Structure 1
Amino acid sequence: MVRRLVVRRPRGRRFANSMAPTGWGDSTYAETAWERSRSAATRWSVFGGLLGLLIAMVAFAPAEWLARAVGSATEQRVLFTDARGTLWNGSAVVVLTGGAGSRDASALPGRFEWSLGFAGTGFALKARHACCLNDTVTLRLKPGFGRFSATLVPPPGWVGQWPSALLSGLGTPWNTLQLGGHLRVLSPGLTVEWVQGRMLLDGALDVELMQASSRLSTLDTLGSYRLSLVGNASRPGEPSQVRLITVEGALQLSGAGTWTANGFRFRGEATAAEAHAAALSNLLNIIGRRSGARSVISIG
């Protein structure tokens, strides 16, 4: 009997193919995508929060911001005190001063009220002041690259009127003259534009001093006067014209000047009606440089 010898070979260990998918790579990609998504969500959340904060700051900006802007633009000669409300709707007491450090000041009666809103590509500022403005006066404000313009949209008739005594708050020479009477402003429309630091005017504006008086004269009234400004920005190279005339009165004022990007220049004179020469002599010495019977006025 022959036995068959069967040799059994040991079975070797079988290792899994290292390239076989295990799910680890997919998990890593998913975690990376999730991290990126979370980072993006965080960034958008922060951006949204900052944007909301900015909108809230603008929407509820205090009226004091406008008050500071007015004071800075006028070199502290016009102040908005006791400002209330917001930048968009507010009120304040208007005070005229002689500038920083001056002790002279005059407060206008009542409260000046304003509302600011969007209008086309700019803003519309509507102002009301029961004592001094004729109904509602509108200013159209239009910012731009390197330029800014303000256009007066006046109500029918006069724009505003104020007691002349308020000018004493502006300091010298008004505090010396101590004027009586009243000021009135009229305009069919005026645009003031600032272009790269230069101021341009287009339109017209009249300032009338009616029934003026002064503590430097014994006369009850000196007269009535009109200062006219005609802007010519729409005609390049032609300066804006300024003219002063006497409407009526014992004190005769006249003069002319120009307003250009380089500044304001004015030349005029003051004389007295013959019957009132003695009563006006002291005032003529104050108004300008005395030259015989005339007082020469020179600005710029």
Structure 2
Amino acid sequence: MNRFGYVAARVWPWVLVGLLTIVITVLAMLPAAWITPQFALRTGGRVVLADPSGSLWHGSATLRLAAGSDSGDATELPGRLEWTTAFWPLMTGRVHMTLDQTAAMPAPVELVATLRQATLGAGSLDVPASLLDGLGAPFNTLALRGIVRLDWNEWRVFGPNAFGRMTVTLSDIASRVSRVRPLGAYQVIYEAQGETGTLQLKTLKGPLILEGQGDMRDRRLAFNGDARADPAVAENLRSFLDLLGRRDPDGSYALVFNR
């Protein structure tokens, strides 16, 4: 080995260490503001992480829901979404994050992702029904109030394919356009089955009875169901039901949703 080769052999490891140090420093200083826009991009502006602070490694943001990227109205969940990213898994091409919502989650959840797949651990989330107003019609018209609880098992995503089960329970639901309070309690179950998914709506209790099924294909939801009222309060719920859909001859109202 000539003198140049000898010097290069001794210096090269230190050059690598220096480059690695620079990369780690840049990543460590990567601000949360560079990361959070990805949520809005992936959800068409419906889920927004606003007012970010911190970095890739430890940061937080406020969760907002909106009808889309061009919507001027949005609703904000109290508290902050906080995350912590483990360093060493990044060396093997994995992102391992711990996520917590300070006001809505009873326990943190784990998110593990690679370039090919992502897995979100089982968890739950309690939010006020008023948060749905930010999604636009018909939620902003109905102005629902009450508690919405989301429970999900392990959620796995492989490219465009998702697998998992989510249960949404709406309790003591009321509306500013109805004098009947509460309207009832309801449950929505969504099953993700790869490129498709199924949705089922049922009533747990209450004078307003909602039922229906839906399918998700090509990221579009087609839902068909019906709404009807307990005869004892049917007249008081008439105007509210008129907002939900077309009245059928049997007295029920068609719930049709395609988006």
Name the TM-score, length of structure 1 as normaliser. 0.74
CA displacement at 1:70 relative to structure 2: 1.2
Structure 2 distance, partners of 1:294, 1:111, is 42
Which residue does the alignment assign to 1:116? 85
Decide whether the 8 Å contact of 2:208 with 2:230 is kept in 1: yes
CA pair 296-49 structure 1, distance change in 2 beyond 3 A: same
Which residue does the alignment assign to 1:173? 138
Q: What amino acid is the match of 1:152?
A: L
Decide whether the 8 Å contact of 1:222 with 1:249 is kept in 2: yes
Which residue does the alignment assign to 2:63? 94
Decide whether the 8 Å contact of 1:134 with 1:160 is kept in 2: yes
Percent of paired sites with the same residue:
30
Decide whether the 8 Å contact of 1:189 with 1:205 is kept in 2: no
Secondary structure, aligned partner of 2:236: helix
- Segment of structure 1 superposing worse, 282-291 or 206-215: 282-291
Q: 1:234-262 deviations in whole A, cap 9, x for unaligned?
A: xxx9x432111100111111111222346
Structure 2 distance, partners of 1:113, 1:83, is 10
Q: 1:169-221 deviations in whole A, cap 9, x for unaligned?
A: 22222111111111001123222332xxxx32322110111111111110111
Which residue does the alignment assign to 2:114? 142
Which residue does the alignment assign to 1:11? none
Decide whether the 8 Å contact of 2:40 with 2:69 is kept in 1: no
Q: What pairs up with 1:8-157 in 2 under 5 angstroms?
A: 52-117=21-86, 118=89, 122-144=94-116, 149-155=117-123
Secondary structure, aligned partner of 2:237: helix
Decide whether the 8 Å contact of 1:165 with 1:181 is kept in 2: yes
Which residue does the alignment assign to 1:203? 164
Decide whether the 8 Å contact of 1:200 with 1:260 is kept in 2: no
1:164 aligns with 2:129: yes
Q: 1:244-297 deviations in whole A, cap 9, x for unaligned?
A: 110011111111122234632221111111111112112212122332422212
Structure 1 distance, partners of 2:243, 2:150, is 25
Which residue does the alignment assign to 1:217? 178
CA pair 213-42 structure 1, distance change in 2 beyond 3 A: same
Consecutive unaligned residues of structure 2, counting only runs of 5 or more, are none
The partner residue of 2:193 within 232, 249, 261 is: 232
Which residue does the alignment assign to 2:204? 247
Structure 1 distance, partners of 2:192, 2:78, is 31
Q: What amino acid is the match of 1:97?
A: A
Name the TM-score, length of structure 2 as normaliser. 0.85
